[in-house]
Amino acid sequence: MEQFPHLKFIQKIEGKPRFTGGGPQHPQTEANKADRRGHSLRLQQCTNANKTDWENSFHNRENQNLASIDETIIPIFIQLNPAIINAEFNLESFGIEIISEEEGGFIIGASIDNFRALEEKINGFIASKRSTGNIANFWQIFDGNRDEWKPKHILSEELYAKWNEIQDDEIYDLEVSIAFDKPIEKAPEPGVRGYKKKIENYRHKLEERDDLLMQRESNFAAFINHYGQIKSELVQLDDSFGCEVSITGKGLKDLVVNYQFVFEVVEIEQIAGIDSGYESLPDREIELIAPEVNAVEVGIIDSGIMEGNKYINPAIKPQNSRSYVIGDNSTADHVIRGGHGTKVAGAVLYPAGVSSISSSFQLPCFVRNLRVLDADNLLKHKFPAELMQQIVDDNKDCKLFNLSISSNAPFRKTHMSIWATVIDNLIHEKDVLFVISAGNIPFCSIHNYLNNSENYPNYLQEPFCKIANPAHSSFGITVGSINHCSFEDSDWKSLGGENDVSGFSRIGIGIWGHIKPDVVEYGGGIVSSKNGILNVKEHAEMATELIRSTLHGGNVVGKDSVGTSFSTPKVSHIAAKLMELYPEEGVNLIRAFIAQGARLPGSYFSTPSLASIQHFGYGLPSLDRITSNSEHRITFYSTGKIKAEEGHLYSLTIPRELRGQGDEYDILIEVSLAYTSQVRRTRQKTKSYLSTWLDWSNSKIGESFESFKDYALKEIEQLKTTYDADVRKGMSNFNWKIKNFKGDKSGSIPEVSRNQ
């Protein structure tokens, strides 16, 4: 295999991009400007009501034996013009710390100065004709009633449904997230004017921020300890921290309604792998050659690996194996019926199965045994977010991790989960890659759907069938499953045919319209009975061939398992080969190549639909397509770093032989953009969760490089550029299947935006 040629520039150009958008103010904002006095009086009444309500709630706290909290910091719930909320948005000048961004411009906040700064801005708005402090964009402030709005916006749907049934003396095990929105500017670049003084000021601000964070963590711990205990380490992110707690119902009510900095409280989810039956295959004698010395090592975060298995042993470095199961140092795969981590590791090494090998075979990579699941195939006594950080810190030389475990429930749509956020943060900061299973729908649920007249694949649209936590991670590669064949006999019939989505595979789209799963692989299929009862089960004909643990007996190879757990390592195999081929490149190139080399199956390739994106993401990846050019296909790439408010221009000339209008063939042009940035969990939507986001645009048909350059970049080397908007508007664009913006009906899939 060889590397693709690097994309060649006509010239390297950097500058400030010409952002489009803007437009007229929202009618509500205009109405507020037109009625300054009335709008200001309404806001003042609401701030006064909030202060009064907060003061009244403190009268009986001590008599009720409630935990101590800071009386000077007041929770507030406001609605702003959503158009002003972006990555840089904050309310510091109003004396408000953002606790959580919600849908529709709603903000949960905390006034840290008893509303003084906000009231000054409101008074200034009455007196001035200028839009003082942007008060016109404060559409409304809610007057107290924390008992109503806080539980509704902070609790998970499951907890909120039983909020009125919470018992004071009952103990609840929960996952709690606390905001800490104290951003500071980036460190000054060496060599800038006044660098010595600036770096001193920056370090001083860092120390102040660390002191404030320690103070908030200490106050939160004291609050929880009044009612219960913190059960895990505090997992820190740039704008928040989270942990698992055990707390009384009385404490839970006080936490949700009165604690100023809490933004999410959810029940602890069960995390597991997939158990299976057993269908043996004959053992085969093949000559195995150990991986190349410098081959990539894939971290298998799972139930352990049977390291002595003859098909796996040459790919194991025993000194790197580790157990994270509390109280159990064994790294063996103790899961009955052939194990789980062993099957996952085998699928990384033999994505097409052992039976595809004729005689000798050099293993493609090493696998690292990182055991986290117990003998019951469950993650117990470990906070998943904390565990991910610990594993990456402990395995600094490992850059690729396979995560074929997930929650038993679909992802929550309000905020990125702390588990997924930590994965995003690790990918961005540590340049590691997580390949994550989309998750499986339980067979009992599929049985119920079928018996309630929800046929395959329609039941996949049910909310419960969406991808599982943490598969909605923005930067991880999420993998679903498709059938490798179809099957039917007198008693059973497969759910779906060849290359259809597996009947158990959870589907997208992901959070905030992200394309999830990213790709799919062959993870087996399932069958349902034809006797009217519609039972659902695995079948040997529909199962994928896997290496098994023989710790509890059975053959070393079997066709007994199906699941996204086993489609995922096949993509990890591709990622490992790419990392070997591009050892000096970051993981974003690997992510881009995997998506770039994927194909939607069948007719979906030429006519994609929303359902095809939900089922397959970008499609089925091909290692050959990712690593080989041909006379009929060429891939170019470029990597680098880009700053906020910066644009880079690339140029590629399509050969004259491909541009003849008389030629009767289609030309396919694909563009893949993969990037990471800092993330903020208290925020929602891509352009707020990400501190910086990227988009790409292209020249129109017949547009010269010079013309496009002046359109795309408003400033080059501090010189302003201009372009003729009318001339450009009259040009034709390329027929992209997925357009820039959701709702653009000129694309094939108006429900999907490529910006997401």
> pLDDT digit string (tens) for 42-66?
999 999 999 999 998 888 787 889 9
For residue 11, what pLDDT is reported?
55
Which domains, and CATH codes, for the chain? 272-625 (3.40.50.200)
Q: Which residues of 11-26 are buried (b: 16+ CB within 10 A; e: fewer)?
A: eebebebeeeeeeebb
Please tell me the distance from the alpha carbon of residue 155 to that of residue 148, in angstroms, as a whole number: 12
pTM value > 0.85: yes
Helices (H), 110-194: 116-127, 146-154, 157-161
Q: Among the listed ranges 158-172, 196-210, 564-578, 607-621, which one has the minimum average pLDDT value?
A: 196-210
The rounded distance, in Å, linking the Cα atoms of 182 and 545 is 51
Does 653 score more than 90 pLDDT? no
User: Is the backbone of residue 115 left (phi > 0), alpha (psi -120 to 50) or beta?
Assistant: left
CA 480, CA 566: separation in Å to the nearest integer?
Answer: 10
- Average pLDDT, integer, range 129-150: 83
Mean pLDDT of 90-100: 93
Rounded to whole angstroms, what are the CA distances from 563 to 356, 476, 731? 21, 19, 48
Q: Over the stretch 494-518, which tens digit does the pLDDT of each residue have?
A: 999 999 999 999 999 999 999 999 9
- Give the integer Cα–Cα distance in Å for 152 and 390: 33
- Edge-first strand listing for the sheet containing 106-111: 96-101, 106-111, 74-80, 138-141
Cis peptide leading into residue 457 (ω within 30°): yes
Average pLDDT for the chain: 91
* Residue 456 predicted with pLDDT over 90: yes
Average pLDDT over residues 384-413: 96
pLDDT of 132: 56
pLDDT of residue 278: 45
Cα–Cα distance for residue pair 390/378, rounded to 1 Å? 18
Residue 655 has pLDDT above 80, yes or no: no
Residue 279 has pLDDT above 60, yes or no: no
Listed in sequence order, the residues at least 6 apart from 111 whose beta carbon sits closer than 8 Å to its beta carbon are: 50, 73, 74, 76, 95, 96, 118
